[in-house]
Structure 1
Amino acid sequence: MRFASFFDVAFRAFRDPSALSKLVVIIAGASSGGLVAYADAKLDRDLASSQESTKKKVLILGTGWAGTSFIRNLDSSLYDVQVISPRNYFAFTPLLPSVTCGTVEARSIVEPIRNITRKKRGEIKFWEAECFKIDPANKRVHCRYTTAANSGRMDEFLVNYDCLVVAVGARSNTFNIPGVEENCHFLKEVEDAQKIRRSVMDCFERASLPNLDEAERKKNLHFVVVGGGPTGVEFAAELHDFVAEDLSKLYPSLYGLVKIEVIEAGEHILTTFDKRIGKFAEEKFQRDGIDLKTGFRVINVSDKEITMRSKTTGEFSEPYGMVVWSTGIGTRPLIADFMKQIGQGNRRVLATDEWLRVCGCDGIYAVGDCASISQRKIMEDIAEIFRIADIDNSGTLTVKEIQDVLEDICLRYPQVELYLKSKRMSSILELLKDSKGDAKKEAIEVDIEEFRKALTDVDSQVKTLPATAQVAAQQGTYLARCFNKMKDAEEHPEGPLRIREGGRHQFRPFRYKHLGQFAPLGGEQAAAQLPGDWISIGHSSQWLWYSVYASKQVSWRTRFLVISDWTRRFIFGRDSSCI
């Protein structure tokens, strides 16, 4: 061994007292080159292990859109990353309606989470288990793994964390309506889509039995979809195409008895889209023979009948063969219990700030459908904003002083831009001039009362983000980038407005960028609402939908499988087997 190597080991040993004893062994065995070489290598491993243990532990709960997006964009070499989820895969949920009717196979839209983690720098530990309790006081979570092969025996364990990212999503909202949980199908998971597919085929097989009368056959072939949102509408359209294009050939005597019904509590379907899209969808459903009931509320679902009520017809019941419930999202028990612990028990989802930090917690972040950003209102900070902007302490703001804080105000309070857009104003200066009644005056000065008066209605534009895959994915990506920029364990995204008090924000608040949305309506037609209020409806939009959804797959494997499924469907039709 060269003297340079020896003194290098000695230097590292004195820097690390725990390695001093190893240096003694090295000196004692200096006459043996093999022993010294072994000790040197062992010391290198110990020092590397010591450095590894100082990494901050980041625990991610969930492998949905938000959790997977966070994992894919996180620099895992900076942290000790652990992932816990009851499913060991990511599912491309926008294609679940296609899975229900065999247009796309279930395995084509799932990517094993270990395929994703093994491509990352640094080791990422994954455990397929369910988190049933979060303990923020001790910074740990309680988990359990249910062994199905061992009579449902549950193995429980604890996992500690420094930072916790909650991305467990949400469950279907039943609104506590009797019978929904027991008698309806939901469409949130891959397993749900597979159950619906088997149930559709079971309805047709039962209806084809020789001992049934026509009334019984009609009952079995009555498919009810509760909810006129994107998922419910897309499933109804997929089911109609499946029946018209494929099952009509296999069950020609039953085709005329099939009834597809969509029940919506509101006056129109697809209310999150432009009104033109909703109107087109309603007209198309009418042409296709899909029965659309708007203004009806379901009040009970038994194993044989569904009961609903409307203002015009009152309460009535009708038999059904299958019911699919798609009426929004509800809170998971884990999140409900956690919210009670941290004083948010009166909310539907976790409240976070604009940096996705759970309000009232240290080191806990929440992304996706289980959380909602509690947007800070500008009127709550109006006095502080005025104080920071008033540099000369004159009690009034000049044009220059206002211009100095414009960027930070719009960054911290996105509702300002929305309000100016609604008023067709390009700047907050126009708003202040308008409030003074002299829009032509260039030199403007306002006191705090005039400043407050001009911004009074701005907070009316505070919007809650929709619970969509697009929002969840963007939140996961944003949070991962924040983590990648953190220099040490104590650094966090800046919360308060820091104008004149330390510079700009270290991390900009999360801002959702809407990239558009699609609504497949069946018959190779779709509706697209893209940024800039651009609306496209028809066959060309369907091909755009194909290209966008194929490009958004998380791997080339799933991209190839989905495209091959679409090609197979065009050539051979949909698979009607019950597996």
Structure 2
Amino acid sequence: MTAIQRLSRTFRENSSLAKMLIVFTVGGGGLVAFSDAKSDDGISIVNPSEADDKNKKKRVVVLGTGWAGTSFLKNLKDPSYDVQVISPRNFFAFTPLLPSVTVGTVEARSIVEPIRNIVRKKNVNVHYWEAECYRIDAKNKKVYCRSHLAGDPNQIEEIVVDYDYLVVSVGARSNTFNIPGVAENCHFLKEIEDAQKIRRKIVDCFERASLPNLSDEERKKILHFVVVGGGPTGVEFAAELHDYVTEDLVKLYPKVKDAVKITLVEATDHILNMFDKRITTFAEEKFQRDGIDLKTGAMVVKVTDKEISTKQVKNGGEISNLPYGMVVWSTGIGTRPVIMEFMKQVGQGNRRVLATDEWLRVEGTSDIYALGDCATINQRKVMVSFPYRPNFVIKTLLILNKNLDLLVHNILSFLSASLGGRKMIFDFQKMIFDFQSRNLILSSGLVSYEDIWAIFQKADKDDSKTLTVKEFQETLKDICERYPQVDLYLKNKQLSSLVDLLKDSKGDSAKESVEVNLEEFKAALSQVDSQMKNLPATAQVAAQQGSYLADCFNRMEYCEENPEGPLRFRGEGRHRFRPFRYKHLGQFAPLGGEQTAAQLPGDWVSIGHSTQWLWYSVYASKLVSWRTRALVISDWGRRFIFGRDSSGI
């Protein structure tokens, strides 16, 4: 290959090099100028209908610009997609810093990044529309949206968008649990607008309390701040509010400083109950030293414009009424109306949240994916029964046959042969016919068998009805990858591998060669499903899901021909992709006074001032752009030097 050919190939493989113009000066120096061919707004508008059908790009519609949706957009690199982003907000907000925004530690604009800035330099066609999806039509592959950007605020523009793939990442809303008065009288802390409203309300409370002709009781009521929810967000807000009051506001409002009170209400016995007990104990002791009133074991039953009523979970359910100046509600998340309506379409109307499989695909669909707080992964169980409904069985059951025993025998014989000789139970008109084992059940035309039978059959390659260590080791990786609860169970049992578990089930761990039959195999794995837990609704989970799905889309064409997922225990071949696996990287709980608690992988706990600096560095690194990093760091520096802004703007 000649030098010219190599240079030409380099420019073809690296499109950015083709944008460089090198102008050499006479003295041998050079000037490198970079020309960006993107449009001013950063969005390449392409109408898919104008493209040739043969080369038509797959249209991907992304609903939402939160953690999951933005992570998907940032990591999507395959230019073969035409991406349409639809969201009522044209920016991404770094929500972990919302409590800091409520008290002016960080400015609201410092933690938001316009979505067009994020996607404008990508090698993928991305279009953004500021609208809100109100209906998903899975059957016709359409989403229906409304835009309120017309000149007349009462005029609503309807938008209908077709899709080939739909990525639902609309997040969740605050859950009021249908408690009277919560929606009307409480402040929430989910969006950037919520934080700004809380900031203005805090300053308003202090200004009102400073007015003349108020009694001490009225001032105490106005300056009583109630925080509902003892999770990370509620605890951090209470800590930020305490620092704001003691470090800044008491200097500006010295006459009312003794009237300020902060109360944290939590329904369980402890705050931060998802953290290590050492962190929980430290946080509770620190809040007591700081004068923050902890009201644990108390459920909110009613909120009026003047009082919040709580009921003790224990001690006879005593009712308490607390006058307040402001209530911040930070407990639980609820499903958005568009998701509730969509769940009914796909047969999930009885669920509280949208269910997906391990590949983030919505159950009951083939081209719709759901990420983040609006969905949960329905992890497959090892001991679950899989439905199998042959049409001929249903039709046969409707036939009136005088010789019922012969009919049942004929059906079972046919099923046994068609299903590879698997053993079964047949339930017909409340009559149970037990045939050797309990692996298959046929009830009113419904055949089902447990996943563990499929695993056993796949591993039993010589069809000996027993598993050897060698046979099992060949499928061990696929089992742990397809059923992550197996791996968790092994770790909790302190077993190095599932082979040790099989040995343990035989009662002789010293054996080097172990053979187990189906019943012994089931006994060994009978408790693994107890390790299954739903993933928490956190930014960390949503971001990892978005990155995972983008990686799947980037390699979709390759993996169609070269599947890399685990074995299909109920079929042939392998799954196209590896299932999503969440990797917990730790969590922080800022406690005020420049002290933070951290729980990191490996049961490592750190509490104190040094952990606060770790929190600063981690959050700065996780911000979405260098612009937001610079703004947030400058806000932190400004607060150290000048204090927090109390203007309420």
- 1:402 matched to which residue of 2? 472
The CA deviation at 1:504 is: 4.7
The equivalent of 1:568 in structure 2 is 638
Choose the corresponding residue for 2:370, options 363, 366, 373: 366
CA RMSD of aligned residues (A): 2.0
Q: Give 1:149 shift.
A: 4.7
1:333 to 318, 331, 337: 337
1:92-111 paired onto structure 2 within 5 Å: 92-111=94-113
User: Which has a greater percent of helix?
Assistant: 1
SS at match of 2:309: strand
Whole-Å separation in 1 of the counterparts to 2:86 and 2:469: 53
Give the paired residue count. 535
Task: Identify the residue that residue 453 of structure 1 maps to in structure 2.
Answer: 523
Deviation at 1:343, TM superposition (A): 1.1
Moved more, 312-321 or 494-503: 494-503
Query: Counterparts of 2:574 and 2:364 in 1: how far apart (Å)?
Result: 24
Check conservation: 1:263, 1:292, Cα contact below 8 A. Answer: yes
Unaligned runs of 5+ in 1: 1-44
Give the CA deviation at 1:498. 3.0
Residues of 1 paired with 2:564 and 2:335: CA distance?
29
1: CA distance, partners of 2:147 / 2:524: 56
Asked if the contact 2:86–2:132 (Cα under 8 Å) also holds between the matched residues in 1, the reply is: yes
Task: Give the equivalent residue in structure 2 for 1:26.
Answer: none
Q: Which amino acid aligns with 1:284?
A: K
Shift in Å, 1:421: 1.0
- The corresponding residue for 2:595 is 525
1:323 aligns with 2:332: no
What does 1:112-127 correspond to in 2, within 5 Å? 112-127=114-129
Corresponding residue number in structure 2 for 1:498: 568
In structure 2, distance between residues paired with 1:213 and 1:492: 76
Give the Cα–Cα distance (whole angstroms) in 1 for the partners of residues 452 and 638 of structure 2.
Answer: 60
For the residue of structure 2 that corresponds to 1:218, the secondary structure is helix
- 1:173-572 pair list within 5 angstroms: 173-310=175-312, 311-312=314-315, 314-380=318-384, 381-487=451-557, 497-498=567-568, 504-572=574-642
**Distance in 2 between the 1:466 and 1:314 partners?**
32
Identity %: 71
1:81 and 2:151 matched: no
SS at match of 1:153: coil
Q: Is the 8 A contact 1:76 1:120 kept in 2?
A: no
Residue 50 of structure 1 deviates from its aligned partner by 2.3
> Which deviates the most, 438-447 or 46-55?
46-55
- Asked if 1:160 is matched to 2:230, the reply is no
Letter in 2 for 1:175: F
Shift of 1:495: 8.0
Displacement of 1:46 in angstroms is 12
What letter corresponds to residue 309 of structure 1 in structure 2? Answer: K
Residue 221 of structure 1, CA deviation: 0.1
1:505 Cα deviation from its structure 2 partner:
4.0
Deviation at 1:148, TM superposition (A): 6.9
CA pair 149-259 structure 1, distance change in 2 beyond 3 A: farther
Determine the C-alpha separation between the residues in 1 that align with 2:51 and 2:220: 68
Report the alpha carbon displacement of residue 146 of structure 1 after superposing the two structures with TM: 1.1
CA-to-partner distance for each residue in 1:323-344, whole Å, 9 max, x for gaps?
Answer: 0001111000111111111111
Paired with 1:47 and 1:231, the residues of 2 have a C-alpha distance of 46
In structure 2, the CA distance between the partners of 1:93 and 1:120, relative to structure 1 (3 Å rule), is same
Shift of 1:575: 0.2
Question: Cα deviations across residues 49-90 of structure 1 (Å, max 9, x unaligned)?
Answer: 427961111000000000000000012512011100000000
Q: CA deviation at 1:151?
A: 2.8
| Equivalent in the alignment of 2:417 | none
Quick one: structure 1 residues 95 and 85, their matched pair in 2 at CA, closer, same or farther if it must change by over 3 Å?
Answer: same
Counterpart-to-counterpart distance in 1, 2:600 and 2:627: 28
TM-score with structure 2 setting the length? 0.80
**8 A Cα contact 1:355 1:493, kept in partner:** no
Task: Say if 1:48 and 1:221 are closer, same or farther in 2 by CA, change over 3 A.
Answer: closer
Offset of residue 130 of structure 1: 0.2
Kindly tell me: are residues 565 and 492 of structure 1, through their superposed partners in 2, closer, same or farther at Cα, counting changes over 3 Å?
farther
Structure 2: distance between partners of 1:498 and 1:328: 37
* CA deviation map 1:364-415 (0-9, x unaligned): 0000000000000011310111111001001100110010010000000000
- Distance change (3 Å), C-alpha of 1:65 and 1:297: same
Q: Secondary structure of the residue that 1:107 maps to in structure 2?
A: helix
Structure 2 CA distance for aligned equivalents of residues 89 and 217 of structure 1: 39
Q: What is the rounded CA distance, in whole Å, between the counterparts of 1:286 and 1:396 in structure 2?
A: 61
Distance in 2, Cα, partners of 1:136 & 1:342: 8
Superimposed CA distance per residue, residues 5-28 of structure 1 (whole angstroms, 9 cap, x where no aligned partner)? xxxxxxxxxxxxxxxxxxxxxxxx
Paired with 1:464 and 1:563, the residues of 2 have a C-alpha distance of 35
* TM-score normalised by the chain length of structure 1: 0.90
Contact 2:454 2:570 in 1 (8 A): no
Letter in 2 for 1:398: T
> Aligned partners of 2:353 and 2:569: how far apart in 1?
32
Cα distance in 2 for partners of 1:323, 1:69 equals: 33
Per-residue CA deviation, residues 217-256 of structure 1 (Å, 9 max, x unaligned), is 0000000000000000000000000000000100011111
Offset from partner CA, 1:152-191 (integer Å, 9 cap, x none): 3111110000000000000011000000000000000000
Instruction: Tell me, yes or no, if the aligned pair for 2:459 and 2:472 is still in contact at 8 Å.
Output: yes
Task: Tell me which amino acid in the other structure corresponds to 1:393.
Answer: D
What is the alpha-carbon distance in structure 1 between the residues aligned to residue 299 and residue 175 of structure 2? 14
- SS of structure 2 residue aligned to 1:410: helix
Secondary structure of the 2:177 match is coil
Deviates more, 1:186-195 or 1:483-492: 483-492
1:259–1:270 distance in 2 versus 1, CA, 3 Å: same
1:58 aligns with 2:60: yes
Going from structure 1 to structure 2, the CA distance change for 1:519 and 1:184 (only over 3 Å counts) comes to same
Q: Any idea what SS the aligned residue of 2:148 has?
A: strand
1:76–1:123 CA contact under 8 A, matched in 2: no
Given that 1:73 and 1:477 are in contact with CA atoms closer than 8 Å, whether structure 2 keeps it comes out as yes
Q: Answer yes or no: is the 8 Å Cα contact 2:93–2:113 preserved in 1.
A: yes
